[in-house]
Amino acid sequence: MDGSMLLLTAWVRGIKAKPWRVLTAAAIGGIYVTLMLFPPLSMLFTVIVKAAISLIIIAVAFGYADTRSFARLVGTFYAVNFVAAGAVLGIYYFLMQGSGKVWRTMTLLRHGVAFEVQMGGVYAFSFLCIGLYVFRSVVSARRQKELVLTHLAEVSVIIGGKEHRCTGLVDTGNQLYDPLSRTPVMVMEASLWEDEIPPGWMQGIRDSQVDRLIAGLGQEEFPWQDRLRLVPYRGINKGTQFMLAVKPDTVVIVREGQRSESSKVLIGLDGGKLAADGSYRAIIHPSLVEHRAG
Quick one: CA torsion of 117, 121, 125, 131, rounded to 10 degrees? Answer: 40
> Pairing mode, if any, of strands 185-189 and 266-270?
parallel
Give dist(CA 164, CA 4) in Å, integer. Answer: 44
Cα–Cα nearest to 265, from 281, 242, 283, 285? 285
Catalytic residue numbers read 171
Distances, alpha carbon 168 to alpha carbons 13, 43, 63, 74, 155, in Å: 23, 54, 33, 31, 6
Burial profile 147-156: b = 16 or more Cβ within 10 angstroms, e = fewer: eeeebbbebb
Work out the angle at residue 255's Cα, subtended by the Cα atoms of residues 279 and 170, and round it to the nearest 5 degrees: 55
